[in-house]
Amino acid sequence: MAEENRKIAFICSKGTLDMAYPALVMGWAALGNGIDVTIFFTFWGLDLINKHRVDHLEIAPVANTSMKMSLMGLNTGNLGIPNIMGVLPGMTAFATKIMKDKMQKLEVPTVREYLEMLVDGGAKLYACKMSVDMFGLKKEDFVEGVEDIVTAGDFMDMTEGAQIIFI
């Protein structure tokens, strides 16, 4: 008797640069291990597949207590300074540039490149119908490789038996 394929499904609900990578990296690793991958983008997670937003994702230091100034090249320890400095004009752009520069130095693919790799590797990408309707989007607004716009119920049916990870 043949063993059923392992399946994993990610729900991406955040549209920031730092929240884009967990599903992309784990999805790529899963594909490499022969696991079927499905990713469902909902609410602000739609920015990850929106062809007008995908290359402009940011990381906001405001209220991001895990972001240490050392990430931004400053040696201040864990003094809560990111929350104070995060409200200053330009800090989001500064933090985003620093993170993108560090990732480029490590040769981490961009979000758009990761999405292309995932689709080429067989991952299935879907947009949430309720969120698409709420934000007035259409399938043409999404990067190539998004298979369809589906309801949450459809997603649950498609991923029956899969391990589901909410990000």
Residues in CB range of 105: below 8 A, 6 or more apart: none
**Domains along the sequence of the chain with CATH:** 7-166 (3.40.1260.10)
**Residue pLDDT tens, the chain, 167 long:** 445 789 999 999 999 999 999 999 999 999 999 999 999 999 999 999 999 999 999 987 776 656 654 455 554 444 444 555 666 678 788 888 888 998 999 999 999 999 999 999 999 999 999 999 999 999 999 999 999 999 999 999 999 999 999 99
pTM to 2 decimal places: 0.86
Residue whose tokens read 């997603």: 155
Please, are residues 77 and 71 in contact by the beta-carbon 8 Å criterion? no
